[in-house]
Chains A and B, each alone.
Chain A
Amino acid sequence: MSTQFNNDWRYTTSFHSVPDSGDPFVEIVINELERRSWSSKDLFAVRLALEEAIANAVEHGNRRDPTKKVDVSAEISVERVLLRVRDEGDGFDESTIPNPTLVENLEIPTGRGLFLIRNFMTNVWRGSNGAELFMEKTPTPNDV
């Protein structure tokens, strides 16, 4: 469902937990940001964060159960993009995730998704039930 009013833009949808099922949503968001002349660097950051969040929701939250859904939404204004990804899982304790940048963890292939989200977005926070992730990015100054 898409709503457009004034200069704001909102979109919300949901999809089943199968590989790459979130791709159309990602493309819709990126296309809207491109239309607003966001820089390639910021587009890269938003795409990365959104893809990582959706992958985590499918793999860890819904444990690849195709009957479970991922709810997503995006709000874009002049000042920012706000993204929400929610799965049907029980949430998780972020303190249990090892720091992937420690020397002893560098050769571990997995566990970088949330770390990348936090580094590429301006603000990241989780909803009260822990299975909902909010990600906000403001455009890099002088790039819009």
Chain B
Amino acid sequence: MSDSKVHLMVRYEDNAAIADCLDVKLNEELSIQSWGDEMYALLENCNEERVIVNFQNVKFMSSSALRVLITANNKAKAKRVALFLCNIDENILEVFKITKLDSLFKIRPTEVEALHSQI
């Protein structure tokens, strides 16, 4: 089950797909399922060498959202797409650090840095 809202807005630039997260909070179960479905579809249909997920709007994230991101990262690796995360709020970044997921993901402070980082 998922909701009917759009959770990702995707743009294309310099051989990258840039997905803006539209939610302020990634915590409601149905929203996270939809957000995950959109992310998985993006990766599945992706012909770009990198996908950048921009978290500029997101101020809260539960472990359910981490679950989606880890699954997305696994899918990206299988498809040989470089998955970058950027513009992560400092409180959320602390979650990545405490769980050591900052060592799993390619996290960059800004979209420009994610766009120009070496793959």
Contact = CB atoms under 8 A, between A and B. Distances in A.
Given A19-B29, A101-B99, A44 B91 contact: yes
Contacts of A113: 63
Contact of B62 (A41, A55, A107, A108): A55
A52 B66 CA distance: 12
Interface residues of A, number: 24
Given A19-B29, A44-B60, A109 B99 contact: no
A47 interface: yes
Contact of A55 (B60, B64, B66): B64
Nearest to A116: B63
A20 interface: yes
B41 interface: no
A60 interface: no
A109 B67 CA distance: 4
Contacts of A115: 98-99
A107 B98 contact: no
Given A107-B104, A112-B99, A47 B60 contact: yes
B29 A107 contact: no
A48 B98 CA distance: 13
Interface string B76-101: 00000000000000010001001111
A51 interface: yes
A120 B99 CA distance: 11
Q: Which 6 A-B pairs have the closest CB atoms?
A: A19-B29, A44-B91, A109-B67, A109-B70, A101-B100, A112-B63
